[in-house]
Chain A
Amino acid sequence: MKKLGTLTVAALCAAAPAMAELVIPDLSYRTGPYAAGGIPFSDGYQDYFTLLNERDGGIGGEPIRVIECETGYNTEKGVECYESTKGEGALVYQPLSTGITYQLIPKAEADGIPIHTMGYGRTSAVNGEVFNNVFNYPANYWDAASVAVNYLLEQNDGSLDGKTIALVYHNSAYGKEPIRTLNALGEKHGFELTEIAVDHPGQEQKSQWLQIRRERPDYVLMWGWGVMNQVAIQEAANVRYPMDQFIGNWWAGAEHDVTPAGDAADGYLSLNMNTINPDYPVFEEIRAQVIEPGMGAGDGSNVGKVLYTRGMYAAMLAAEAIAKAQEIHGVTDITPAQMRDGMAALEMTETRMKELGAPNIGPVFAVSCQNHGGSGEGLVQRWNASAGAFEPLTGFITPDASIIEPLVQEDSLAYAAENNITPACAE
């Protein structure tokens, strides 16, 4: 009888169609020195997919399976995560690290698996004809540099001639990304750029801020991550550098970056590639259908915060691309190549963002096989210490395409030449 039962179960298993899944690896970092940034992003990324599973049964009827892999923000571990998860049918990677991204670009191109590097990674991946499988919409580092400069132009009646801007940057591939653009923008607008490097992890920045105190640049831009941000904001307060002249990029503008400095951080400015609003309807749904039933990736305390919102927005863009791929190819169980097609045809409109429960969460943009970068817009937000929240200071600001596009072309074509790539859209 027991044997008969076993055979029946085996026969049923064999007869049932294999359950398809949409596999999304989450290369997170919940440990180590950068965990404070990695955790909320990963929570937001995962919770949105869990919401789709719970509310809609996945995307197009296919359940989503998120595979979390801890990278510790370490490039080698990130590559290991990629290698160990790609065989699971991974549709898209979000490495959340410029270092990991640089290592994964050739692998992903060879394997035909798309990478989404949202606001980080290799900027010239905007050129989709060279980087078929790398997408960096809605904006990249060079856009961020240009958005910051455009904001400063607005503050100075359209002229930065004779002004001095210091760039305090993480001494890594990530931190050095905006230098080229800022130099080009400096030539165009007549400001002088001073580059001030901070070594990893950035716990000791006395020399850098003494230099700023001596030279008193008109503005300080910061390309920081992790503890570098908190220390820089504290040191800026210590040397009495005005917070309204200190602008961090979008990886230096989360709540945990400013809270250690307390009231001294009030008025600190940073860029953001998405709006923040803890009252988005989608957050209500996440709280009700994911957090309260105990299915959240975290304890729910991060819902609505800057990096949680960005992680959720990243998941939203991935889910939209999956739906687009399903629509294009007429199948629900899509392949990585089909996912790439979906990403290359992604369109985010005001209507769609409203339908998703996050009105105006990001800029309106459309991706194409040639342009993987989106609109490049970003906004400036200001820290209100008494309210304990960032508040938007501007709407979305458009970057200077006349500077960025030639740089993208130059860098991407150089990469193509080095790697024997003939620029063309993916077939």
Chain B
Amino acid sequence: MPDQLLFGMEVALNGLMAGVMYSLVALGFVLIFKASGIFNYAQGVMALFAAMTLVGIQNGQVPFAHLINATLGTDIHNFGWTVPALAAILLTVVVMAIFAWLVNKFVFSHLVNQEPIILFMATIGLAYFLEGVADLMWGSEIKTLDVGLPQGINDWLETTTFDAVGYGFFIDNLDIVATIIAALLVLGLILFSQYTKQGRALRAVADDHQAALSVGISLNFIWVLVWSIAGFVALVAGIMWGAKSGVQFSLSLIALKALPVLMLGGFTSIPGAIIGGLIIGVGEKLFEFAIGAPYLGGATENWFAYVLALIFLVFRPQGLFGEKIIERV
């Protein structure tokens, strides 16, 4: 098999894996948009906050230590214990649920029936506020995330492909784990929405707020629930991305990788977020490999993802799996 073809196949495979990582971020956006019509600008910051909280809990870091020390003249930084990864993840989920309740209580319950742009602006404010809180709570330094995820080249795949085609393919073990987790996450979300009372209520709210209210579904509860789930998805995304680069403030920028995925897959479809992510991942990586790096000086992935999404938008404005908006007079 020609080398270029093998390289192209390796790039495409890695593009699929990168796409899964984008989808993990996009899922959080979809969940909130589907249930409440809010485009949550703060989703990236939520991933940052969740990952920082996880590391902070795991390492026994005292939250707001800098503030406490400056105010009280103390010198405390650490509780002196470490929390096992699984327990720390569970505690972080609880923190994200509390965050969801607070957001609903103090922000969105006051903005019911407001224009979507007002809700969007509120999430912008929320993003900057949360970033500041994360900084105050856990500090700005880069934190090493260690929840036992494997990293590095998958030896089995490399050896197998080398034996088969004479070229060992590279796949990062972390990407394989991310793919499995994303699949489980989507499966879990589908089962939850299909087979649980709360899930059905969530779908009812997503379909029609007014009708859901009229049959006694609590909008407040559903919004807290959906923000909690989005918080959990943000935690998963934060763990996967944070394992690569350490947990740091640039994590919030992963939201930028999710936007073209949403444009392509639609804002209301969970399968759309996954398929969109895969298309964007493969598309941008293959473009960089075949055209970007050899002819355009490289670094084309960021903008090409948006070009790809725009092309889809022109032909299908609601995205691949989005619901067509029909407004009747």
> Which of B137-145, B176-184, B205-213 lines the interface with chain A?
B137-145
Contact with B along A12-49 (1 / 0, CB 8 A): 00000000000000000011111110010000000000
> Which of B80-88, B215-223, B249-257, B265-273 lines the interface with chain A?
B249-257
Residue A188 lies at the interface, judged by CB distance under 8 Å to chain B: no
Beta-carbon nearest neighbor of A226 in chain B: B250
Determine how close the nearest CB of chain A comes to the CB of B21; give it in whole angstroms: 8
A201 touching B250, Cβ below 8 Å: yes
Interface residue count on the B side (C-beta < 8 Å): 48
A36 touching B140, Cβ below 8 Å: yes
Beta-carbon nearest neighbor of B128 in chain A: A31
A264 touching B152, Cβ below 8 Å: yes
Q: Which residues of chain B have C-beta atoms less than 8 A from A230's C-beta?
A: 142, 244-246, 248
B142 touching A259, Cβ below 8 Å: yes
B11 touching A210, Cβ below 8 Å: yes
B293 touching A227, Cβ below 8 Å: no
- Contact status of A207 and B248, CB under 8 A, knowing A197-B299, A238-B153: no
Residue B285 lies at the interface, judged by CB distance under 8 Å to chain A: yes
Q: Which residues of chain A have C-beta atoms less than 8 A from B292's C-beta?
A: 207
Residue A260 lies at the interface, judged by CB distance under 8 Å to chain B: yes
In the complex, how many residue pairs between chain A and chain B have their CB atoms under 8 Å apart? 122
Q: Which of A232-262 contact B (CB under 8 A)?
A: 234, 237-240, 256, 259-260, 262
Q: Which residues of chain B have C-beta atoms less than 8 A from A207's C-beta?
A: 11, 14, 285, 288-289, 292-293, 301
Q: Which residues of chain A have C-beta atoms less than 8 A from B170's C-beta?
A: 210, 213, 238-239
Beta-carbon nearest neighbor of B131 in chain A: A31
A195 touching B69, Cβ below 8 Å: no
A206 touching B14, Cβ below 8 Å: yes
Q: Which of B291-305 contact A (CB under 8 A)?
A: 292-293, 297-299, 301-302
The answer for the CA separation of A201 and B10 in the assembled complex, in Å, is 24
Residue B7 lies at the interface, judged by CB distance under 8 Å to chain A: yes
The answer for the CA separation of A210 and B14 in the assembled complex, in Å, is 9
The answer for the CA separation of A31 and B110 in the assembled complex, in Å, is 30
A211 touching B140, Cβ below 8 Å: no
Q: Which residues of chain B have C-beta atoms less than 8 A from A31's C-beta?
A: 131-132, 135, 140, 249
Q: Which residues of chain B have C-beta atoms less than 8 A from A299's C-beta?
A: 66, 69, 77
Residue B18 lies at the interface, judged by CB distance under 8 Å to chain A: yes
Q: Which of A201, A208, A231 contacts B244 (CB 8 A)?
A: A231
Residue A214 lies at the interface, judged by CB distance under 8 Å to chain B: yes
Residue B151 lies at the interface, judged by CB distance under 8 Å to chain A: yes
Determine how close the nearest CB of chain A comes to the CB of B191; give it in whole angstroms: 31
- Contact status of A260 and B152, CB under 8 A, knowing A39-B140, A39-B141, A201-B250: no
Interface residue count on the A side (C-beta < 8 Å): 41
B245 touching A196, Cβ below 8 Å: no
Q: Which of A39, A171, A264 contacts B299 (CB 8 A)?
A: A171
Residue B49 lies at the interface, judged by CB distance under 8 Å to chain A: no
Residue A319 lies at the interface, judged by CB distance under 8 Å to chain B: no
B14 touching A33, Cβ below 8 Å: no
Residue A315 lies at the interface, judged by CB distance under 8 Å to chain B: no
Q: Which of B225-260 contact A (CB under 8 A)?
A: 241, 244-246, 248-254, 257
The answer for the CA separation of A211 and B135 in the assembled complex, in Å, is 36
The answer for the CA separation of A32 and B146 in the assembled complex, in Å, is 23
The answer for the CA separation of A239 and B299 in the assembled complex, in Å, is 19
Choose among B21, B132, B170 the residue with the greatest number of A CB atoms under 10 Å from its CB: B170
Q: Which residues of chain B have C-beta atoms less than 8 A from A34's C-beta?
A: 250
The answer for the CA separation of A230 and B243 in the assembled complex, in Å, is 11
Q: Which of A390-425 contact B (CB under 8 A)?
A: none
- Contact status of A214 and B142, CB under 8 A, knowing A33-B249, A204-B301: no
**Interface of chain B, main secondary structure:** helix
Contact with B along A162-204 (1 / 0, CB 8 A): 0000000001000000000000000000000001111111011
The answer for the CA separation of A98 and B73 in the assembled complex, in Å, is 38
The answer for the CA separation of A262 and B135 in the assembled complex, in Å, is 24
Determine how close the nearest CB of chain A comes to the CB of B154; give it in whole angstroms: 10
A33 touching B250, Cβ below 8 Å: yes
Q: Which of B245, B257, B299, B302 contacts A260 (CB 8 A)?
A: B245
The answer for the CA separation of A32 and B250 in the assembled complex, in Å, is 7
The answer for the CA separation of A211 and B301 in the assembled complex, in Å, is 14
Q: Which of B140, B250, B288 contacts A227 (CB 8 A)?
A: B250
Determine how close the nearest CB of chain A comes to the CB of B290; give it in whole angstroms: 11
Determine how close the nearest CB of chain B comes to the CB of A18; give it in whole angstroms: 32
Determine how close the nearest CB of chain B comes to the CB of A299; give it in whole angstroms: 7
B144 touching A262, Cβ below 8 Å: yes
Determine how close the nearest CB of chain B comes to the CB of A137; give it in whole angstroms: 29
Q: Which of A39, A171, A195, A259 contacts B246 (CB 8 A)?
A: A259
Determine how close the nearest CB of chain A comes to the CB of B22; give it in whole angstroms: 9
Determine how close the nearest CB of chain A comes to the CB of B234; give it in whole angstroms: 16
Q: Which residues of chain A have C-beta atoms less than 8 A from B15's C-beta?
A: 206
Q: Which of B4-26 contact A (CB under 8 A)?
A: 7, 10-11, 14-15, 17-18, 21
- Contact status of A196 and B250, CB under 8 A, knowing A207-B288, A260-B245: no
B140 touching A35, Cβ below 8 Å: yes
Q: Which 5 A-B pairs have the closest CB atoms?
A: A260-B246, A33-B250, A197-B299, A227-B250, A197-B298
Binding site for A on B (CB under 8 A): 7, 10-11, 14-15, 17-18, 21, 66, 69, 73, 77, 131-132, 135, 140-142, 144-146, 151-153, 170, 172, 241, 244-246, 248-254, 257, 285, 288-289, 292-293, 297-299, 301-302
17 A-B contact pairs sorted by A residue (CB < 8 Å): A31-B131, A31-B135, A31-B249, A33-B249, A33-B253, A36-B142, A197-B298, A199-B302, A204-B18, A204-B21, A204-B301, A207-B14, A210-B170, A230-B245, A238-B170, A238-B172, A260-B244
Given contacts A31-B135, A256-B142, A259-B142, 18 further A-B contacts (CB under 8 A): A35-B135, A36-B248, A171-B299, A197-B299, A199-B301, A204-B301, A207-B289, A210-B7, A210-B170, A211-B293, A238-B151, A259-B246, A260-B142, A260-B244, A262-B144, A264-B151, A299-B66, A299-B69
